[in-house]
Amino acid sequence: MNQTEPIPNSSEREAQALRDLENSWQTPRGMIGWLSCTTHQAIGMRYIVTAFIFLLAGGIEALLIRLQLALPNNTLLGPDRYNEIFTTHGTTMMFLFAVPMMEGMAVYLVPLMLGTRNVAFPRLNAFGYWIYLAGAIFLYWGVFTNTAPDAGWFSYPPLSGPAYSPGKRVDFWAQMITFTEVSAMCVASELIATIFKMRAPGMSLNRIPLYCWSMLVQSFMVIFAMPAVMIASSYLLSDRTVGTHFVNPAEGGDPLLYQHVFWLFGHPEVYIIFIPALGFVSSIVTANSRREIFGYPGMVLSIVATGFIAFGLWVHHMFATGLPQIGEAYFTAASMMIAVTSGVQIFCWIATLWTGRLRMTAALHFVFGFIAIFVLGGLTGVILASVSLDVQVHDTFFVVAHFHYVLIGGALFPLFGAFYHWFPKITGRLMNEAVGKLNFWILFIGFNLTFFPMHILGLKGMTRRIYTYGSEMGWELGNILATIGAFIIAAGGVVFLINIFLSRNRGEIAGDNPWDADSFEWAAASPPKSYNFEYLPVATSRYPLWVAASERTFVTGLRNDRREVLVTTLMDAEPHHRLVLPRSSLWPLLTALAVTIGFIGSVFNAWYITYGSILTGLAFVGWFWPRLPVETKP
């Protein structure tokens, strides 16, 4: 292969090569084709659409919570139903919306940004999606059959143990965790391999787009954090189903062990959701400031340092458990130091915006909203890092306000910005900018009206997870404001959906690069072809599309009659070898079904672990059955 040849002139041979490329990368038609698809665009979109449906479900649950709390002594929901709804809301948002949405965006965008044609393990990618879908359906099967979990999204024992939570509610929750975490680890491993080994030639470590750096760090965090929560939920599940004694105090187990293991995942989880959003912000800021990002090395190092320090914060969720003060103080220190890495990024974005030629798009509005809200959430985070202050507001609405400022401000606002920014790439049409800005202001006002009063409510002593309160508490004003705000947020969501549907059908045609942005995804067609690029691009700069067109070069020499991609070296992205990616296959779906039988069955009968393992083994035989390397048919 040669990475410096210009694109050959168009000819019949070229046309034939293009037809071969389309044939080898296309997905078979029909239902079987849809089920066996392994292209990253299709899988990414499935994640995005499914996760968005669960955002809507979690949003409806949030509205029910707010309606119940709007007035004192309200009887709209009883205490048991309220427990189910707030547990399902938290679980849905954390496990079925936030992480899968970020994974889906990455599955769609990362190969395009790196200048390649798919992720490194396309079948694993499809398997991850099916497993996620199975876990999500499993949880909501429980919700609609009066088996919704009701012990909070982190299900602390002993409340969640067999003595205080009989029945199957908590078991559904615990096993849903296993599904979604397996899915997240599938995506993480394939993204790490893709970012390390499938970058465009020339895209050395110091030229990787910041979004891809974010996903690289996030993926490593997933690999280290997710096993912890799977262990925690497995402790709980086995205590409940087969009578082990890990975390059940009635049998000599240690509930604090559960908290440690859960939060060893739980705090990095916040950053697993938030770090991809930092990548969105960097891409949007760069494109709309029309200049290179200020302090690229500092930005990369901040992301990496955040990824490390995030694993040193978990005990700040456990300050009220009576651990030694010296031990707690280590976490106070780390919690305060992580503000430094976040601060470096905030200042770099401000410097970029300050010195750029701003184009005030809807996406950039969401970035400004993110900066304002996230900084406020960060400030209350520093307050909660202090043991003495944290103990005062522990388990109050102050904490609820804090984490919604961090998660909605830190992840949802950038995500909406990302929707506006990449919608033209995904659909080929621009979203309506005026409606987008209206969408931003409705969400921004609604968000602050909902969550700012919760700080005051928390300071006034309103504990989280109570289903009602007396009128003598003086909490009416804050609660009614929060409820009004929640409905304004819902109105913002409706505006967004209307904009999506109208723009999808009638939006202005976008072209390949409507924002004159810098990274490779904007060199692909809008929407991208199944093979992304006719010729894989070569990165001659950190901002490859801002290099003069005459200086851009492309990879030639890859075969078009099979799914061939270029593997490059880890450090400097020099061409190393050609890799043939597998064709579409039903085996990921069948394997996911086998795993699902094992996981769901084991909630009711432990022998299903054996049955599921045998079925999964058989499915793996089909999955890995050797085939000829040359594949001319999809």
Partner 1 sequence: MKRDFILWIALLGGPIVWLISFETNFALAPWACIFQTKLALHVISIVALVLAAVSGLLAWQEWKGLSGEKEDRPGGSLPRSRSMALGGVLMSAMFFLVILAQSIPAIVLSACE
Q: Tell me whether residue 184 or residue 338 sits nearer to partner 1 (CB atom).
A: 338
What is the spatial distance between Cα 380 and Cα 328, in angstroms, rounded to a whole number?
A: 18
Residue 308 Cβ vs partner 1, minimum distance, rounded to whole Å:
4
Token pair for 530: 């199944």
Burial class (CB in 10 A: 0-12, 13-18, 19+), 67: middle
Q: Tell me whether residue 305 or residue 502 sits nearer to partner 1 (CB atom).
A: 305
Residue 54 Cβ vs partner 1, minimum distance, rounded to whole Å:
34
Q: Tell me whether residue 206 or residue 605 sits nearer to partner 1 (CB atom).
A: 206
Residue 338 Cβ vs partner 1, minimum distance, rounded to whole Å:
9
Which residue, 189, 191, 193, is CA-closest to 211?
191
What is the spatial distance between Cα 301 and Cα 307, in angstroms, rounded to a whole number?
A: 10
Interface residues toward partner 1, by CB under 8 A: 202, 204-207, 297-298, 300-301, 304-305, 308-309, 311-312, 315, 323-327, 329-330, 332-334, 336-337, 340-341, 540, 571-572
Distances (CA, A) of 305 to 26, 209, 406, 497: 40, 17, 18, 37
Which residue, 430, 521, 422, is CA-closest to 212?
521
Q: Tell me whether residue 269 or residue 328 sits nearer to partner 1 (CB atom).
A: 328
CA 587 to chain centroid, in Å, comes to 25
Which residue, 331, 352, 343, 327, is CA-closest to 379?
343
Burial class (CB in 10 A: 0-12, 13-18, 19+), 327: exposed
Residue 187 Cβ vs partner 1, minimum distance, rounded to whole Å:
24
Q: Tell me whether residue 261 or residue 411 sits nearer to partner 1 (CB atom).
A: 261
Q: Tell me whether residue 297 or residue 629 sits nearer to partner 1 (CB atom).
A: 297
Residue 383 Cβ vs partner 1, minimum distance, rounded to whole Å:
17
3-state SS assignment for residue 2: strand
Which amino acid makes up residue 622? G
Q: Tell me whether residue 195 or residue 315 sits nearer to partner 1 (CB atom).
A: 315
Distances (CA, A) of 315 to 34, 384, 466: 45, 12, 24
Which amino acid makes up residue 60? I
HSE-CB of 10 using CA atoms within 13 angstroms: 3
Q: Tell me whether residue 162 or residue 202 sits nearer to partner 1 (CB atom).
A: 202
What is the spatial distance between Cα 307 and Cα 268, in angstroms, rounded to a whole number?
A: 8
Give me Rg for the CA atoms of the chain. 25
Alpha-helix residue ranges (DSSP H) falling in 198-242? 210-241
Q: Tell me whether residue 314 or residue 420 sits nearer to partner 1 (CB atom).
A: 314
Residue 200 Cβ vs partner 1, minimum distance, rounded to whole Å:
12
Residue 551 Cβ vs partner 1, minimum distance, rounded to whole Å:
11
Residue 542 Cβ vs partner 1, minimum distance, rounded to whole Å:
10
Residue 365 Cβ vs partner 1, minimum distance, rounded to whole Å:
32
